[in-house]
Chains A and B, each alone.
Chain A
Amino acid sequence: MPEHTQGVYPPALTESFADERTEPFWLAAVEGRVVASKCDNCGTVVLPPKPYCFECNGESFTWVDLPGTGTIYTFTIIRHPLHPGLRDVVPYVSGVIDLDGTQGAGARLFGNIIGRDPEQMRIGDKVEVAFEPLSDTYAMMRFRWLSQ
């Protein structure tokens, strides 16, 4: 049994189930980089990657590097363990992150946020993406609290 730490959500998924469209995100993640697919026509960032840009319906995207920082758009403190394995993990925080270098909506990521007392966590706080490689092709996506 893996050891569980309060506040740190353990990986439930160990493979990416990626296709050609999403694989570059995870291969960069394994290296600790945050990349995003950007519409070649209008510059909208679409994340997770989709076959069309929701603004202009462009089908051509280029992977760009993002700074890997962002702000908490919203979050919840999960206190009730949904299965017995989470008993030692709750309370933990999961939230929605507006990524720097994107327009926000349409390119958000979400996941477990660590590094801060849940009671002190606020919308608008700065975080950084903290990937933890799970294999050569997939990483745990987590966010580390940086500042208010």
Chain B
Amino acid sequence: MTLKDKAAIAGIGATPYYRRGESLPLTETQMACQAILEAVDDAGLTIKDVDGFALYSAPIDPAEIGAILGIPEIRFSATLTSGGGGSAGSLGLAAAAIATGQAECVVSLMTLQQAKRRLGGTRTEGGGGGMGASSNPYGSGTIPPIIGFIGNAGMASPGHSFSLLTQRHMHQYGTTREHLAHVAINQRELAIKRPTALQTEPLTMDDYFNARMISDPLCLYDYTMESDGAVAAITVSADRAKDLRHPPVYIMGSAHGGMGRWSSAIFTWFQMPDEYFASSGHRPVAKRMYEMAGIGPEDVDVALLYDHFSPMVIMQIEDYGFCPIGAGGPFVAEGNTRIDGKIPVNTHGGHLSEAYIIGMTHVREAVEQLRGDAINQVEDAEIALVTGGPAGLPVSGTLLRR
């Protein structure tokens, strides 16, 4: 048995997207509740129908949401490990809960407010604090010995880490900054057509090359924005989805994980073998996901690729098989990922230009594309790819179809 077509996304809900800190005085919990209530309403259900949570990156505690919203019974409550790499995989986790009869109506969501904490912020103060503490709430809380090897390296933000992967990709394959610029410009063109987008001004090649460098080879426009907001998805069984408000968006295939030695590498340490150092870390996940769905990259109509940094779009295009490994830069520059290209990518504008809600805006866009009501609609879109990560393991990919 696989998860193929066992479950479907029936509802999507979201708060407005805000620039960093501008969601105050709302709290992350309030925004989560708002997105959940909108999502169940979108599905034609009520909060009384919700009985499961399939999460990633632990944005909220279902115990708290259950109490606030008066959910009658929670039957499934699980979180993929690590961070944003699990966004697309949380849909697979929801499908697994449903396919095995553990729950019937499952919430996946992200809520984010960066007023007081900044995900891309420094770890330089206090000798690299924040890198070490175990996520185990019963852990000792002591600083691990690895800190001695990384605390003085001057590498203190995610952008620095992704610069290292990008520089290696450029070295191995000839990828250029102009290739990265095309990723950012394509997405900006699409974002500015959407009223939800936080970036509203066009971006030109001149703008890109005049932008300040942050961490070579990445400049300002290669970085995601910092945003606030919440997005929730409701997953139910394929049968039940047929009777709800919108046409079902079936989960064809989903996988999460990665090569063991990928580790939490990108945030702490860089020990990956040559074979996949300059990659998105998604190759084995892509393979399992396509196998489950019984399709290949040539069957995908639109790809919503996690884009905290522009080069990681290029590496995912390669790792999901839309072009050969190493050819992602020219593939993008030739226009293949534009809305009228071979494989339209990030038609919502992505993290780079619409909003950064740790992968869930991509899920929302996939659902809109497959319902046929996207603002930048890909004609006759039947199958969408959504990804989470590149990040610490697990990274994830999910195929959705109408």
Q: Tell yes or no: A145 within 8 A of B by CB.
A: no
Given known A-B contacts A16-B145, A74-B164, A82-B122, A110 and B213 have beta carbons under 8 A apart: no
By a CB distance below 8 angstroms, the chain A residues around B215 are: 76-80
Residue B138 lies at the interface, judged by CB distance under 8 Å to chain A:
no
A94 contacts B by Cβ under 8 Å: yes
Interface residues of B in 263-322 (CB under 8 A from A): 269-274, 277
Q: Interface segment, B32-40, B149-157, B190-198?
A: B149-157
Contact with B164, one of A54, A76, A92, A111 (Cβ below 8 angstroms): A76
* B168: interface (CB < 8 Å): yes
The contact string, 1 if C-beta is below 8 Å from chain B, for chain A 41-71, is 0000000100000100000000000000000
A98 CB to closest chain B CB, in angstroms? 10
Contact B154 A78 (CB under 8 A): yes
Known: A73-B168, A75-B167. A19 touches B145 (CB 8 A): yes
Which B residues, 138 to 181, have Cβ-Cβ distances below 8 Å to chain A? Answer: 143-157, 160, 163-165, 167-168, 171
- B214 contacts which chain A residues (CB < 8 A)? 78-80
Convert B100-135 into 0s and 1s, putting 1 for each residue whose CB lies closer than 8 angstroms to a CB of A: 000000000000000000000110110110000000
Q: Is the interface of B mostly helix, strand, loop or mixed?
A: loop
Query: Chain A nearest CB: distance from B50 CB in Å?
Result: 41
B212/A141 in contact, CB under 8 A: no
Instruction: Provide the main secondary structure of the chain A interface.
Output: loop
Compute how far the CA of A9 lies from the CA of B148 in the bound complex, rounded to whole angstroms.
15
B261 at the interface (CB under 8 A from A): yes
Q: Mask for A98-126, Cβ within 8 A of B = 1, else 0?
A: 00000011111111100000100001100
**Interface 0/1 of A27-51, CB less than 8 Å to B:** 0000000000000000000001000
Find the residue from B121, B128, B155, B272 having the highest chain A CB count within 10 A.
B155
CB contacts (< 8 Å) of A15 on chain B: these are 127, 148
Contact indicator B167/A76 (Cβ below 8 Å): yes
Q: Are A140 and B152 in contact (CB under 8 A)?
A: yes
B334 close to chain A: CB less than 8 A: no
What residues of B have a CB within 8 angstroms of the CB of A130 in the complex? none
How many residues from B make CB contacts under 8 Å with A? 43
Q: Is the CB of A74 within 8 A of B167?
A: yes
Which B residues are in CB contact (< 8 Å) with A12?
124-125, 127-128, 151-152, 156
Which among B124, B127, B144, B261 has the greatest number of chain A C-beta atoms within 10 A? Answer: B124
**A13 at interface, CB cutoff 8 A:** yes
B148 — which chain A residues lie within 8 A by C-beta? 13, 15-18, 22, 26, 138
- Residue A14 is within 8 A (CB to CB) of chain B in the complex: yes
Decide if B163 touches A13 in the complex (CB within 8 Å): no
Docked-complex contact B164 and A75, CB < 8 angstroms: yes
A141 to chain B: which residues have CB within 8 Å?
Answer: 149, 152-153
Chain A: which residue is nearest B147 at the CB level? Answer: A17
Q: Are B150 and A110 in contact (CB under 8 A)?
A: yes
Give the residues in chain A near B150, CB-CB below 8 Å: 110
Q: In the complex the two chains form, is A18's CB within 8 Å of B145's CB?
A: yes
Interface centre among B128, B214, B218 (most CB of A within 10 A): B214
B380-397 vs A, CB cutoff 8 Å, 1 = contact: the mask equals 000000000000000000
Q: Is the C-beta of A21 less than 8 angstroms from some C-beta in chain B?
A: yes
Inter-chain contact A74/B145, CB cutoff 8 Å: no
In the complex, the answer to whether A105 meets B272 with C-beta atoms within 8 Å is: yes
In the complex, A96 has a CB within 8 A of chain B: yes
Q: 15 additional contacts, CB 8 Å, given A82-B156, A124-B171?
A: A12-B151, A13-B152, A17-B145, A74-B171, A74-B270, A75-B164, A76-B216, A76-B218, A80-B212, A82-B122, A105-B272, A108-B270, A108-B271, A111-B152, A112-B152
Report A's interface with B, CB cutoff 8 A: 9, 11-19, 21-22, 26, 48, 54, 73-80, 82-83, 86, 92, 94-96, 104-112, 118, 123-124, 138, 140-141
Give 28 pairs: A residue, B residue, CB < 8 Å, sorted on A. A12-B125, A12-B152, A12-B156, A13-B151, A13-B152, A17-B143, A48-B146, A54-B261, A74-B270, A74-B277, A76-B160, A76-B216, A77-B213, A77-B216, A78-B160, A78-B215, A79-B212, A80-B212, A86-B124, A96-B270, A105-B271, A107-B271, A110-B270, A111-B154, A112-B154, A124-B171, A141-B149, A141-B152
Q: Which 6 A-B pairs have the closest CB atoms?
A: A13-B151, A76-B163, A13-B127, A9-B154, A77-B216, A16-B148
